[in-house]
Amino acid sequence: MQQHDARILRGAAIATTLCGIVSIVVAALMVGTPGAWGAALGYGIVLGCFGVGQLLVILATRYNRDLMLPASMFGFILKIAVLGILLVTLGRSEFMEGLHSTAFAVTALLCVLTWLTLQMRGMASAKIPHVEPEPSESGSDAERTQ
């Protein structure tokens, strides 16, 4: 894992964890135990989906840097699809009856926005070269001028 990849992953995960903890505490204070469990479930699902997605992109780019954009796009579509399927499935299950669904939804939304914001901020400030210059075949510029 390259240094900038680790920094982006770490920054997004730490900020999302802080957001999740604050959301769990607020939900517990406002709604009680069902709110805390709902918020914890929302936080866990988002952290799992986005963390695994980021790790897969990092692994794909380790083998071939040209795979970064396709891996990122596929990962994002897959994350949103998995989140959508989980939300629909959990919304209809008996498991969610004991949890506060509003705390779950608000926490999930806040954690998604936090992760994406910190990931975009990390990518923008990471100074990753977009083009790697090819080495010249005829030698250095100093040799050509003589």
Q: What is the pLDDT of residues 100-137, one digit of tens each?
A: 888 988 999 999 999 989 988 887 777 766 666 677 66
At 132 the pLDDT is 64
Q: pLDDT: is 122 or 42 the higher one?
A: 42
- How much of the chain exceeds pLDDT 70, in percent? 86
- Is 61 within the bounds of a domain? yes
pLDDT at 139 over 70: no
pLDDT at 20 over 70: yes
The domain of 10 spans 3-125
pLDDT band at 98 (very low <50, low <70, confident <90, very high): confident
At 110 the pLDDT is 94
- Is 32 within the bounds of a domain? yes
- Is 114 within the bounds of a domain? yes
- Is 145 within the bounds of a domain? no
Main-chain dihedrals φ then ψ at residue 29, nearest 5 degrees: -70, -35
pLDDT band at 141 (very low <50, low <70, confident <90, very high): low
At 80 the pLDDT is 83
pLDDT at 91 over 80: no
What is the tally of structural domains in the chain? 1
CA dist 89 and 72 (Å) reads 25
- Is 135 within the bounds of a domain? no
- Is 131 within the bounds of a domain? no
At 14 the pLDDT is 92
Burial zone of 101 (CB within 10 Å; 0-12 exposed, 13-18 middle, 19+ buried): middle
pTM: 0.76
Is residue 136 within 8 A of residue 70, CB to CB? The reply is no
Is residue 35 within 8 A of residue 25, CB to CB? The reply is no
- Is 87 within the bounds of a domain? yes
Is residue 106 within 8 A of residue 38, CB to CB? The reply is no
Count of residues for the chain?
146
pLDDT band at 50 (very low <50, low <70, confident <90, very high): confident
CA dist 5 and 136 (Å) reads 29
- Is 66 within the bounds of a domain? yes
